Amino acid sequence: MDHRPGRPVRPLLLIVAVLMGAAALSGCLAPDAVDPTGTAPFGRLEAVFADGDGIRVQGWAIDPDTTAPVVVTMSSEQRTRTFSADLERPDLAGLGRGTAHGFDTRYPGLAPGPRQICVWVENVGAGRQDRLLGCTTVQVRRVDPVGNVEAMGSPVPGRVRVIGWALDLDAPGPVEVVATVDGAPSDRRRAEVVRPELGAFLRVPAELGFDLDLPATPGRHRVCVSAVNRNAGRDQQLGCQDVVAQAPPEDRRPTGTVTAVTPVVGGVRVRGSVADVDGPVGTVRVAVQGGASSSAPVAGGTFDTVVPVGAGPARLCVVVADVASPPGPYLTGDRQLPCSTVVVSAGSVPSLGTSGSPAWTAPVGPPAGHPLVGVDRDAGVSVSLRDGSLLWLFGDSSAVDANGSLRYFVNNTAAWAAPGALTATRDGSSGSQPVQFVSPGPGFPACPADAPRSAMWPMSAVVVAEGPRDRVNVLMGNVCLGEALRIVPMGVSVATWVYDPAAPPVDLPVTGTVVNQTLFGADEPQWGTAAVVAGDGLAYAYACAFPPDGGLPDQYGPCRVARVAPDRLADRSAWRFWAGGSNWSANPASVVELVMPPGPDGTSPPLPGFSVKFDATQGVYVMAYSPWPGFTDRIQVRVATAPTGPWTAPVEVNLPGCADTVTGTGFYCYAGTTQPSFSEPGLLGLGYYDQRLRVDSAGGQYLTVKVPFSVVVIP
């Protein structure tokens, strides 16, 4: 029989093959049949087994009339597939027909269940005696995911809950599921809820359940769940259902904001505004941590009161009394506004206070239509250039595709922002991904085996004027990266970049040059974690001690400071270390600790990442950082009138949306920085990275904020 082009297919014979199993096909010699002519092909079917969504066959075939590879045909379910037996088989050399006669191929796309497969060799030359190598039955496995949606509803207002299970039999481990609400997909979630009864019944690992909590506006929605396929097969929809999401009860609690917290003689002045839909608010209560509460009258929806607060750091919390609501399914009760912190100091040390709530927030990133819209970047270090523009330096930049797969990941990138649009970065890209600012080069320390990847992260930057141009000198942290957030500090390097205001890098890559790969070694302090150019024209660089693998709050610190001419930042011999008072030493061992009092909750030194800038609007040096353990929902702020201090105790800024939980995973904020370019009278500019901007989003963003802030010197 022959199924090569130009020779007719004989379907009746194929039907006979399916019905009779291993019986000889008409026109085919059975595997053990005698060939009286000596011209029929021969061979061996050595293995037949299920492989994904099909059957795999292995063996060899030869025709005595040629040394060339011969055609092999396999059939199943009245369909055929031909291929050439041309794989090298050195063990066939003794047959005298060459060695390129092996085959190993798949018959894909078969439905699950028992499937019969027959394999034969097509004759070459005269005789038309094809050779049947064999027929057998193989159990084809199901390769598409399976599962079920068992329950779907809206037990909580504004949410939809979906419960079920999913399994992919040809892929180990929990399968991923995707839910859509009115066609809009959620993030992929792993079906890893333990379901012992299902695992025992299906004889598979029990981690196959899912319990999805999805946001949904009040009203009717079409919710569908699909299992994501791996290996062979396709994604499978597990079920769809219409669900009516509950509307939340009307919130009739009072609202309000603290607009200013200002230290004054004898206490702290607290101002704000409040409102209640049920009527005018009469009073607010101001509670002082460790002290007595006091009431303040409300007139015209505002309050302005002075509460007694002693020297040192303190926390103030304003509580607004609820006005009685009419009967109904309402949310009611008193409302505590975000707490404020103050530091009341004596003598020439500033006192400071903040309401703790941002009054303005803006993301840092490219404008709409830019190839890098949606870039997720952290560790936003900024440096002001003389024309009022900003250079932004970021730690890591990444983005994901719509299906959740990583599109790119780049260590250390930079972008320029024009005056008047300081949060709109004008990035340059390569292949629609950011361009690295600098790369580790010769002299980078050898990385340990458990953290083999070398990288550089920006820590701080200072500007040196060179005629009309600005040279930006950047202190970079050398690090080695391993798995599970394993980060090994490997010292400090220096990179440089020149800015020409006559030719700004609009939509162009910003790339620097490493001028000293090992300014400080891995066994030395991280000098330059923060840096600021002071009024004397010198760059002051800070370092705080920290345990290499993390630790408790009292294991961080102390902090110290050194200084150097900004244009000699890369020259180790030019550095001098503060030895107290007006004393500076070339010997790092002479350096002394900075005065940094604890905050209202006790010890709160800076972590490895912090920033120091002079804020001309506030008239002080500002230190900002994310407090222990680093991933948090707040920023701590200290101020000083000199770069060597003494520094005040910290006040705290509460960051909204910095403690989100998505399917049991927490997302927080970190990399708190001071951003004086955004400060205004009564408002302090800060920045931070939010790991998850929204519960339904896949990435984070670096943000700038302005918070009510006051700095005063009380006689």
Going by C-alpha positions, the residue among 471, 406, 478 that lies closest to residue 438 is 478
Q: What is the pLDDT of residue 271?
A: 94
Q: What is the pLDDT of residue 709?
A: 94
Token pair of 470 as six digits = 């600005």
The answer to whether residues 471 and 463 touch, using CB atoms and an 8 Å cutoff, is yes
Contacts of residue 437, Cβ cutoff 8 Å, sequence gap at least 6: 393, 412, 413, 414, 458, 474, 495, 497, 510, 511, 512
Q: How many whole angstroms separate alpha carbon 344 and alpha carbon 314?
A: 8
3-state class (DSSP) for residue 363: strand
Q: What is the pLDDT of residues 547-571, one digit of tens each?
A: 877 778 888 889 999 999 999 999 9
Tell me which amino acid residue 252 is. Answer: R
Contacts of residue 521, Cβ cutoff 8 Å, sequence gap at least 6: 445, 491
3-state class (DSSP) for residue 573: helix
Q: How many whole angstroms separate alpha carbon 402 and alpha carbon 411?
A: 22
- In the chain, the percentage of residues whose pLDDT exceeds 90 is 58
Q: What is the pTM of this model?
A: 0.69
Q: What is the pLDDT of residue 583?
A: 96
3-state class (DSSP) for residue 606: coil
Q: What is the pLDDT of residue 609?
A: 84
Instruction: Measure the N-to-C terminal CA separation of the chain; round to a whole number of Å.
Output: 109
Q: What is the pLDDT of residues 445-455, one digit of tens each?
A: 999 999 999 99
Contacts of residue 55, Cβ cutoff 8 Å, sequence gap at least 6: 48, 49, 76, 106, 107, 110, 115, 117, 138, 140
Beta-strand ranges (E) seen in 100-171 are 100-107, 113-121, 130-140, 146-153, 159-167
Q: What is the pLDDT of residue 68?
A: 93
Contacts of residue 100, Cβ cutoff 8 Å, sequence gap at least 6: 69, 86, 87, 88, 89
Q: What is the pLDDT of residues 88-121, one digit of tens each?
A: 999 999 898 999 999 999 888 777 778 889 999 9
Q: Which domains does the chain have, with CATH numbers?
A: 11-140 (2.60.40.10), 146-245 (2.60.40.10), 255-344 (2.60.40.10), 360-712 (2.115.10.20)
List of the chain residues with pLDDT < 70? 1-27, 32, 34, 53, 127-128, 402-404, 660-665, 693-698
Token pair of 225 as six digits = 């769940």
558 upstream amide cis, omega within 30 of 0: yes
Q: Beta strand pairing status for 283-288 and 267-275?
A: unpaired
The answer to whether residues 447 and 517 touch, using CB atoms and an 8 Å cutoff, is no
3-state class (DSSP) for residue 491: strand
Q: What is the pLDDT of residue 662?
A: 62
Count of residues for the chain?
Answer: 715
- Which residue bears the tokens 């409040």? 274
Q: How many whole angstroms separate alpha carbon 655 and alpha carbon 669?
A: 8
Q: What is the pLDDT of residue 496?
A: 98
Cross-strand partners of 705: 361, 686
Q: What is the pLDDT of residues 584-610, one digit of tens each?
A: 999 999 999 999 999 888 777 787 789
Q: What is the pLDDT of residue 555?
A: 85
DSSP state of 343: E
Cross-strand partners of 87: 102
Q: How many whole angstroms separate alpha carbon 582 and alpha carbon 598?
A: 25
The answer to whether residues 53 and 109 touch, using CB atoms and an 8 Å cutoff, is yes
Q: Three-state SS across 408-427? A: EEEEEEEEEECCCCCCEECC
Going by C-alpha positions, the residue among 643, 653, 645, 646 that lies closest to residue 686 is 653
